[in-house]
Amino acid sequence: MSTKKVKIGNISIGGGERVAVQSMITTLPKDEKSVKEILRLEKAGCDIVRFAVKDELDAKAIKLLKEKTNIPLVADIHFDYKLAIASIENGADKIRINPGNIGGDDKVKAVASCLKEHGVPVRVGANTGSIEKSFYAKYGSSAKALGESTLKNIQVLEKQGVENIVVSVKASNVPLMVESAEYIRSKIDYPLHLGVTEAGGGDMGVIKNSIGIGSLLLKGIGDTIRVSLSTDPVDEVAIGKNILRAVGLDKNFVDIIACPTCGRCEWNLMEFYKKVEDRVKDINKPIKVAVMGCVVNGPGEAKEADIGIAGGEKCVIFKKGEVIKIVEKEKIEEEFFKELDKCLK
Ligand code: SF4
């Protein structure tokens, strides 16, 4: 079952569109640094950017952000329905708010009619910190509690005729995040936003995000993703894009296949790998490059590579497993990069 398509500013998500990468700036809209922060994320390949809206000045500042930046802007609002309305009126392309906690039917109605009037979508959902009390009492901190809490928020909006909905269920516990996303996906066909909350930083943060988001994407679940890391948001975007590449949803990049080396390796593969990585990192072409440790196993193990190198007393350059050149160690860099450049053209 494919999800519905939802338009957010100048892009669409769901309904078979490519999975979009989101991030969040750490400044408020009224902060003069925000334009620069959004442009940095754009440059890094971010598709959608979110920011917290804390007061009226933030909501008004969205107008300027819209003028100076190009990707869809999402206003994240807690509780205050007036800020939701002001954000939409000032040009937010999507808002993130939970109708269940904005203070009653009249306020929900006001936000809903503003969303419909401007054709702006809304993201609703729950995380382990915002599970509704009754569901928490009944199901504890579980996928069912997260899912049911989210469904209730969705129903509040549906009752007001809002159809442009994006859904998220998040947890910092990876198995719970995965189970909750599967639960909600089995109940609704709105596009789903994936993320592991409070994943931390460093290697463990990257691992949690990659496994949580990646395992769902492999099952065809997820229409937008946000890698959450205690680091520069530009890193979140880079890792988000790499997750899409690792699960095969983005093939437009140079994939480097390299062996981990073993006792058979007779050259400095690690150093050469870094040089290759540097050369190809900004090239968006579906090419596979292999950097292998030995001539005995390298060309065969990396048969699918469009071009590869295997080190030894003499190094071999190969294409699709067939050796095309045998070169002296001293000439390897010059010769290999000459061949690689031909492939990258
Ligand atoms: S390609 Fe050669 S050096 Fe690399 S892991 Fe395999 S056997 Fe070892």
Give the pLDDT confidence of 161-182 residue by residue, as tens digits. Answer: 999 999 999 999 999 999 999 9
Q: Would the CB of 262 count as within 6 Å of ligand 1?
A: yes
pLDDT at residue 186, rounded to an integer: 96
**Distance from residue 326's CA to the centre of ligand 1 (Å):** 18
Q: Would the CB of 295 count as within 6 Å of ligand 1?
A: no
The label of the residue with tokens 């095969």 reads: 248
Query: Which tens digits make up the pLDDT trace of 178-211?
Result: 999 999 999 999 999 999 998 888 999 999 999 9
Q: Would the CB of 27 count as within 6 Å of ligand 1?
A: no
Q: How does residue 229 score in pLDDT terms, banded at 50, 70 and 90?
A: very high
Q: Would the CB of 41 count as within 6 Å of ligand 1?
A: no
Q: How does residue 95 score in pLDDT terms, banded at 50, 70 and 90?
A: very high
Hey, CA dihedral for 37, 43, 46, 47, is it positive or negative? positive
User: Which residues have CB under 8 Å from 175's CB, separation 6+?
Assistant: none
* pTM for this predicted structure: 0.92
- Residue 294 alpha carbon, nearest atom of ligand 1: 2
pLDDT average, residue stretch 313-317: 90
State the helix-helix crossing angle for 56-68 and 81-89, rounded to 10 degrees: 20
pLDDT at residue 1, rounded to an integer: 67
Q: How does residue 297 score in pLDDT terms, banded at 50, 70 and 90?
A: confident
- Measured by CA distance, the residue closest to atom 8 of ligand 1 is 262
- Residue 296 alpha carbon, nearest atom of ligand 1: 2
Domains in the chain: ranges and CATH: 6-246 (3.20.20.20), 254-344 (3.30.413.10)
Q: What are phi and psi of 205, to 5 degrees?
A: -60, -45
**Distance from residue 301's CA to the centre of ligand 1 (Å):** 9
Beta-bridged to residue 21, according to DSSP, are 225
Nearest to 209 by CA among 196, 222, 221: 196
- Residue 262 alpha carbon, nearest atom of ligand 1: 8
Hey, CA dihedral for 98, 104, 110, 112, is it positive or negative? positive
pLDDT average, residue stretch 276-304: 92
Ligand 1 binding pocket mutation candidate from 294, 296, 316, 318 (most atoms within 8 A of CB): 294
**Distance from residue 320's CA to the centre of ligand 1 (Å):** 17
pLDDT average, residue stretch 327-345: 92
| % of the chain surpassing 90 pLDDT | 84
Q: Would the CB of 130 count as within 6 Å of ligand 1?
A: no
Lowest mean pLDDT among 90-94, 96-100, 161-165, 338-342: 96-100
Ligand 1 binding pocket mutation candidate from 256, 257, 264 (most atoms within 8 A of CB): 264
**Distance from residue 302's CA to the centre of ligand 1 (Å):** 11
**Distance from residue 325's CA to the centre of ligand 1 (Å):** 19
Q: Would the CB of 301 count as within 6 Å of ligand 1?
A: yes
Is the pLDDT assigned to residue 131 strictly greater than 80?
Answer: yes
Query: Which tens digits make up the pLDDT trace of 137-160?
Result: 999 889 999 999 999 999 999 999
Nearest to 191 by CA among 154, 246, 228, 156: 154
Token pair, residue 34, equals: 């925000």
CA dist 305 and 100 (Å) reads 52
Look over the chain and give the mean of its residue pLDDT values, rounded to a whole number: 94
Q: Would the CB of 259 count as within 6 Å of ligand 1?
A: yes
pLDDT average, residue stretch 265-291: 94
CA dist 10 and 220 (Å) reads 24
Query: Which of residues 102 and 159 earns the better pLDDT score?
Result: 159
CA dist 90 and 294 (Å) reads 60
Q: Which residues of 143-169 are buried (b: 16+ CB within 10 A; e: fewer)?
A: bebbbbbbbbbbebbeebebebbbbbb
